[in-house]
Structure 1
């Protein structure tokens, strides 16, 4: 099976290739492209692959632009950082999608779905209207500016505006949520971690466990612990020990860029 990948993040593309071959060694990666322009050029000079994996957000625009400019006849699996609720349109139109950070189990399930659809419909796309899908997604997704870029935080009797990029991690202690900034300030915040998880960009922060949401730069060291758990050393230092469960360890390592 010939697969074309559209992904503008080098590490993500490399990881995706490796996971594809782990899922099915018979897969042939015929190309890895990083932009709308290069994808259009590729399709104009190459036969259609059997399957296309396309990131939605590329450096020069959304990959939907490709489908609006040329006819794509192969099935598509989209990869995206959009939240699951916003992507119900994909299920309705029988196009699968992978939420970033992508793990091997999710990829394997998507490939199995593709194989089943291929048995039913052969090499056709089962009359999926990609242009309609693009419109539905644009109309239904949460806009990127929904993710918070600043918070108003408490410090004693004062309220301080703090940019998200000033925050190393969020954590809870004694049922109170705090942020720790890069300059080692500890400030309270009127959100639970469950709420923060929904309004922080998934590329910038990861829910490590019930007590911590961390940024990648805050992870100073990662130790392999008992039962394949991971122990994190954070910077700035936190007195609490931070663990990643065995179930989440693969997902976390992928998010960190393994």
Structure 2
């Protein structure tokens, strides 16, 4: 199986290559390209690979632009940190859609779909079935995109993208925004955790739910725990428990 990897982050490309070779020893990564232009050039000058693993967000644009510039007959497994592209991905040769951080078992499942597709005479029907399943999953997964906060006698609606982290203090819950504003909220962290996208937020301990964008550094700590630095900075250490440390590292892209 000849495989082309399209990924603009070299460490992620190397990890994906390693995962692929562990999941499918017969796979041969014939090239790794890191941009729309480089991928178009490679595809124009080489025979079509058996399979393409393609990141959606590249340094010089989205990988969908590649399909506008060159005809691609190879099946594609898309990889990305953003599930908003799922439906569009399935309309351009996609046989599956993997969200980062990619797990070996999920990659194996995608490769199994690739093998099924290779032996399926009704490829269009197969793609339509996958598309319908992705639409169903998207309809089920709806997460909060903003939250109402109090500011004196006023109330304000804060988008999730502007929140650095949630925290509890003296039996009250608060948010800290990326612009270092602090607001009290009428929700417990337990209730909030259920309504937040697990791709954007992680409950590191009883006191904190962090956005991935707020994390600036991760340090090894006592008893296999982790200490996390965030921005805006806090007055106390944020410690990830030993039980959650592995999942947290994976969530951050290990």
Aligned counterpart, 2:228: 233
Match of 1:187 in 2: 183
Of 198, 210, 215, the match for 1:213: 210
TM-score scaled by structure 1? Answer: 0.67
After TM superposition, give the deviation of residue 47 of structure 1 in Å.
1.1
Which ranges in structure 1 are unaligned for 5 or more consecutive residues? none
**Count of aligned pairs:** 238
Displacement of 1:163 after TM fit? 8.4
* From 162, 166, 169, the counterpart of 1:170: 166
For 2:248, the equivalent position in structure 1 comes to: 252
Shift of 1:94: 7.2
Partners of 2:39 and 2:215 lie apart in 1 by 35
Q: Report the CA distance shift for 1:219/1:89 in structure 2 as closer, same or farther (over 3 A).
A: closer
Q: CA deviation at 1:111?
A: 1.8
Task: Decide which of 232, 240, 243 is 1:243's aligned counterpart.
Answer: 240
Q: Give the TM-score taking structure 2 as reference length.
A: 0.67
Does the 8 Å contact 2:164/2:210 carry over to 1? no
What are the within-5 Å matches in structure 2 for residues 44-55 of structure 1? 44-55=44-55
* SS of residue in 2 equivalent to 1:19: helix
**1:184-237 per-position Cα deviation (integer Å, ceiling 9, x unaligned):** 654224663433427xxx4xx4323585133354354343776x7x54434434
Please list every run of 5 or more consecutive structure 2 residues that lacks an aligned counterpart in the other structure: none
Q: Is the 8 A contact 1:171 1:193 kept in 2?
A: no
Shift of 1:152: 6.9
Question: Please, what is the CA RMSD of the aligned residues?
Answer: 4.5
Structure 1 residue 10: deviation in Å?
3.0
Greater relative contact order, per chain length (Cα 8 Å cut-off, separation 6+): 1
Structure 2 CA distance for aligned equivalents of residues 116 and 245 of structure 1: 40
Conserved? CA contact 1:56–1:78, under 8 Å: yes
